[in-house]
Amino acid sequence: MSQTDNHHRLDYVEFGTTTVPGSKAFFAEVFGWEFTDYGPDYTAFKDGRLDGGFTSARTPSTEGALLVLFSSDLEATQRAVEKAGGKVVKVIFDFPGGRRFHFAEPGGNELAVWAE
């Protein structure tokens, strides 16, 4: 799929963890996920259909994971989020692989949007 085909589609899921190595070992053993480490506090996974990651920078939650959407124009998407009543809770920042921002939608759920 091209970036245009992926624009505003759910693209990545990120879980908080108290132990990156422990989460990595568990999901590799039980589900056969493959991992790429990005330092001691982050590992990315592929499950065959969806990409995601585990980070010690987020507190694990029984209330859900951070859902990450893709954008082919990050700044335009941020403006659209704000225009529609969303609140940016983390301004655009760089991370290995791209840039992203986090927002809260009017119902209070936090999501993120990333771009290459």
Residue found by looking up tokens 């920078």 in the block: 57
Residue 88 — pLDDT band, cuts 50, 70, 90?
Answer: very high
Higher pLDDT, 3 or 112: 112
User: Tokens representing 40?
Assistant: 């001691």
Kindly tell me if the per-residue pLDDT of 2 is higher than 70.
Answer: no
Give the per-residue pLDDT at 59.
Answer: 87
Give the per-residue pLDDT at 31.
Answer: 83
- Helix or strand (DSSP H, E) at 42: strand 42-46
User: Tokens representing 43?
Assistant: 């590992």
Residue 73 — pLDDT band, cuts 50, 70, 90?
Answer: very high
The model's pTM is: 0.76
